[in-house]
A and B are shown apart, each in its own frame.
Chain A
Amino acid sequence: MLLKTNSMRWAGLVLAMLLLLVLMSFSIVYGYTDTTWKIAIDAFTEFDGSNEHIIIQSVRLPRALIAAAVGASLAIAGVLLQTLTKNPLAAPEIFGINAGAGFAVVIAVSLFSISSLQFFTWLSFLGAALSFIFVYIIGSIGREGLTPMKLTLAGAAMSAMFASMTQGFLVLNETDLEQVLFWLAGSVSGRKLETLITVLPYFTAGWIFSMIIAGKMNVLSMGEDVAKGLGLKTGMIKLGAGIIVVLLSGGAVAVAGPIGFLGIVIPHLTRAIVGIDHRWVIPFSGLFGGMLLLSADIAARYIIMPQEVPVGVMTAVIGTPFFVYIARRGFNQS
C-alpha cells in the first residue's frame, strides 16, 4: 500500500484528477493531424471553422471524453464484480456482458441490416442487460441462492454461447463483417459526442451509486455469512451492485465496443496503491481507469502511424501479462 493515511489519499485523489485532465488535454492536442496547444485552446475560445478547429471540437474532444468515461466505468464495474464474485480475475466479461452486447449488434447487422453507430449503442446496451439478467437468474438457481462460483460459471457459459453464435452469424454474412469487426475490436474513435450523451445518465448513476454502496461492499467482502450476521441485506446489495455493473459496463460496451482487461487490471493496481477500502478503491479506480484508457488511446495513434491500433488491442497488450501475473499469484497463495 502506497498511500497509508487518509490525508495522503485525499492528496492522491486530487493529483489523480489533475493527471486525468492533463491526459485529456494530451489526447485533444496530439494525433495524426498536427495541432498545437495554442490551436486547441483557440478552437474553443476563437472558433474560426478551420479544419484543425473542426477536428479538435468534433473528433478529439468527444474521443477524450469518451475514453475517460468508458475507462472509469469499466474500472469501477471491475471493482464491484471482483467483490461480488470473490474472484480476483473477474471483469465485465465474466457476466457475459461484452459477448451479449456483441451478439445483439451482430444480429442487428445481419438480420436487419442496421449500420448506424447510434443504434448500435442501444442494441448493445440491451444485449448486455439481457445477458446479465440471464446470468443472474441462472446463478441464483439452487438452494444457496447467488453464490460467487455459480455466478462465475453462469457468466462463462453465457459468454461462450453468445460468442459462438456471434461467430456463426458473421460466417453466414461476410458482407457485413468489416463493419462489425471494427466495432468488435473496441475503439473510442469515430464516435460522436451524442453517443456519450446517450449513455451519460447511466454512467453518472453508476458512479454515484457505486460510491453510495462502497461501505456496504466492504461488509460484503467479509463473506456472505459474516455480512448477514452484521445485519447487511446481502441479497439487496448484490442485486444493487449487479445493476450498477450493467449500467456501467453496458454503457461502456455500447459506446466503445468490448474493451477487455481494463476491468481486471485497474482494481488490482488501485488496491496496491490505496488499500482495500471500497470507499477509496472505487473513486481511485475510476480515475486510474480513465487515465489508462486515455494513455492507451494516445499510444494507439503513434504505433503504426498513419493508421491506428484499436484501443481494445492496446489494453489487451497491456493487460495480458498482468492477468498472468495475478493468476499465478492467486494460485500460489491458495
Chain B
Amino acid sequence: MTTGQAIATKDLTLSYGDTIIINELNLEIPKGEITVFIGGNGCGKSTLLRSIARLLKPKSGAVLLEGEAIARLSTKDVARKMAILPQSPSAPEGLTVLQLVKQGRYPYQTWLKQWSTEDELKVKSALRATGMEELKDRTVDSLSGGQRQRAWIAMTLAQDTDTILLDEPTTYLDMTHQIEILDLLFELNEKEQRTIVMVLHDLNLACRYAHNIVAIMDQRVFAQGKPEHVINCGLVKNVFGMECEVTIDPLFGTPLCIPYGKGRCILKGEGILG
C-alpha cells in the first residue's frame, strides 16, 4: 500500500451564512486507503466531504490535493485527480447507462480532442468493473436502486482518478445492495489502490470496510484512526449521544456496536447486556 497523504485540510473553516459548521480543521487523509467519515445527523460530515470536492467554498483555510491547494488548480485538473459521487444524484429522464458513464470522460475532452480510443477503453473497463456491461443500453431511471448506484460509480470510475469521494453511497439501498456496493468499493481499493473517502451512516459497516475512521463532532474531528483503535463506548456516547456496548464482529473481528434502548428482550434470566 502506498504511503503519504492524498488529501489534507489546512485550517479549514466551513459555514452556512454565519453558522460555523467546521472550525479550523487540520485533517490528513492517507493515500490508497478507505477513509470513512462518521458522526451524528447535521455534524457536518457531508459538508466536509462536499468542501473537499470543491462543491462548497470554504469560509477560510484550504483543501490540499496531493499537496496543492484545490482552489489554485483548474477545476478540470481537479476532476482528473478526484471524483465525487454526491448523495442521491439524479440522472435526466431517458439517459442510458452508457451515456451516463461516458460523461465521466468530460474532464479529458477538449475542443481538439472530443472522443479518443482511451476514453472508449476507460468507459469499457468502468462498465466491466461495476458489472454494468449487460445493462449499458438500459435507461438509468429503469434500473433498481443498487444497479443505479453501480452505474453512477461506473461514471466516477471512468473519470480515472486516484481518489474517489462518495457521499452516503448506500442510502436508500437494502442490506444486500449495501454490501454489494461496499464490496465493490473495497475491491477497487484492494486491486487498484484507489483512495476512497466516504460518508457512511452505518457504524458497523464503517468499521468493517474502513482502514481509517474520522469521527466528527462539534465542528471538529473528535477522533481519527483505525476503527479497532478508536471505536469504543466512550466515542459512540460522545459522537452519537448513544449508550452502547462495543463487541467484536464474529465474522470479521472488527468492532461491532450494539445500542442500548427499549425493545423486546428475550434472553432467559439476567440479560448479559444488562
Q: Which of A117-125, A224-232, A246-254 contacts B (4 or more CB under 8 A)?
A: A224-232
Shortest distance between the CB of A227 and any CB in chain B (Å)? 9
Quick check: is A222 within 8 A (CB to CB) of the other chain? yes
Shortest distance between the CB of A308 and any CB in chain B (Å)? 38
Cβ B86 vs Cβ A226 within 8 A: yes
Cβ B94 vs Cβ A226 within 8 A: no
184-223 of chain A: CB within 8 A of chain B: 215, 218-219, 221-223
Cβ B106 vs Cβ A277 within 8 A: no
Of A225, A230, A271, the contact of B103 (CB 8 Å cutoff): A230
**Which chain A residues lie closer than 8 Å to B50 at the CB level?**
225
Cβ A218 vs Cβ B103 within 8 A: yes
Query: Once bound together, how far apart are the Cα atoms of A223 and B75, in whole Å?
Result: 16
Query: Once bound together, how far apart are the Cα atoms of A276 and B84, in whole Å?
Result: 24
Cβ A230 vs Cβ B55 within 8 A: no
244-298 of chain A: CB within 8 A of chain B: 271, 275-277
Shortest distance between the CB of B169 and any CB in chain A (Å)? 14
Query: Once bound together, how far apart are the Cα atoms of A226 and B76, in whole Å?
Result: 13
**Which chain B residues lie closer than 8 Å to A228 at the CB level?**
53-55, 75
Q: Closest A residue to B53 by CB, please name it.
A: A229
**Which chain B residues lie closer than 8 Å to A333 at the CB level?**
93
**Which chain B residues lie closer than 8 Å to A221 at the CB level?**
92, 95
Of B16, B89, B95, the contact of A276 (CB 8 Å cutoff): B95
**Which chain A residues lie closer than 8 Å to B54 at the CB level?**
228
Cβ A222 vs Cβ B91 within 8 A: yes
User: Which residue, B55, B92, B107, has most C-beta atoms of chain A within 10 A?
Assistant: B92
Query: Once bound together, how far apart are the Cα atoms of A209 and B92, in whole Å?
Result: 22
| Known contacts A229-B53, A231-B79; A222/B89 CB under 8 A | yes
Q: Closest B residue to A218 by CB, please name it.
A: B103
Q: Closest B residue to A229 by CB, please name it.
A: B84
Assign chain A's interface to a size class.
20 to 34
Quick check: is B83 within 8 A (CB to CB) of the other chain? yes
Query: Once bound together, how far apart are the Cα atoms of A206 and B90, in whole Å?
Result: 29
Query: Once bound together, how far apart are the Cα atoms of A271 and B93, in whole Å?
Result: 10
66-93 of chain B: CB within 8 A of chain A: 74-80, 83-86, 89-93
| Known contacts A233-B75, A271-B94; A222/B55 CB under 8 A | no
Q: Closest B residue to A221 by CB, please name it.
A: B92
**Which chain A residues lie closer than 8 Å to B90 at the CB level?**
223
Quick check: is A38 within 8 A (CB to CB) of the other chain? no
Quick check: is B263 within 8 A (CB to CB) of the other chain? no
Quick check: is A328 within 8 A (CB to CB) of the other chain? no
Q: Closest B residue to A216 by CB, please name it.
A: B106
Query: Once bound together, how far apart are the Cα atoms of A230 and B152, in whole Å?
Result: 12
Cβ B94 vs Cβ A232 within 8 A: no
**Which chain A residues lie closer than 8 Å to B107 at the CB level?**
230-231
Quick check: is B159 within 8 A (CB to CB) of the other chain? yes
Cβ B103 vs Cβ A222 within 8 A: yes
Cβ A230 vs Cβ B89 within 8 A: no
**Which chain B residues lie closer than 8 Å to A222 at the CB level?**
89, 91-92, 95, 100, 103
Cβ B86 vs Cβ A219 within 8 A: no
| Chain B 138-175 per-residue mask, 1 if CB under 8 angstroms from chain A, else 0 | 00000000000000000000010000000000000000
Cβ B86 vs Cβ A230 within 8 A: no
Query: Once bound together, how far apart are the Cα atoms of A143 and B53, in whole Å?
Result: 18
| Known contacts A143-B16, A219-B103, A219-B106; A229/B86 CB under 8 A | yes
Quick check: is B17 within 8 A (CB to CB) of the other chain? yes
**Which chain B residues lie closer than 8 Å to A275 at the CB level?**
94
**Which chain A residues lie closer than 8 Å to B76 at the CB level?**
231
**Which chain B residues lie closer than 8 Å to A230 at the CB level?**
79, 103-104, 106-107, 159
Q: Closest A residue to B107 by CB, please name it.
A: A231
Cβ A229 vs Cβ B55 within 8 A: yes
Q: Closest A residue to B94 by CB, please name it.
A: A276
Query: Once bound together, how far apart are the Cα atoms of A42 and B79, in whole Å?
Result: 61
Cβ B86 vs Cβ A223 within 8 A: yes
Q: Closest A residue to B108 by CB, please name it.
A: A231
Shortest distance between the CB of A284 and any CB in chain B (Å)? 15
Of A143, A223, A233, the contact of B89 (CB 8 Å cutoff): A223
Query: Once bound together, how far apart are the Cα atoms of A143 and B18, in whole Å?
Result: 11
Shortest distance between the CB of B197 and any CB in chain A (Å)? 13
**Which chain A residues lie closer than 8 Å to B104 at the CB level?**
230
Quick check: is B125 within 8 A (CB to CB) of the other chain? no
1-26 of chain B: CB within 8 A of chain A: 16-17
| Known contacts A143-B16, A230-B104; A225/B84 CB under 8 A | yes
83-130 of chain B: CB within 8 A of chain A: 83-86, 89-95, 99-100, 103-104, 106-107, 109
Shortest distance between the CB of A90 and any CB in chain B (Å)? 14
Q: Which 9 A-B pairs have the closest CB atoms?
A: A231-B79, A231-B76, A229-B84, A225-B86, A231-B107, A230-B106, A221-B92, A231-B75, A276-B94
| 22 contacting pairs across A/B (C-beta < 8 A) | A143-B16, A218-B103, A219-B103, A221-B95, A222-B92, A222-B95, A222-B100, A223-B90, A229-B79, A230-B79, A230-B103, A230-B104, A231-B74, A231-B75, A231-B78, A231-B79, A231-B107, A232-B106, A271-B94, A276-B94, A276-B99, A277-B99
| Given A222-B95, A225-B86, 6 more pairs with CB closer than 8 A | A218-B103, A219-B103, A229-B55, A229-B83, A231-B76, A233-B75
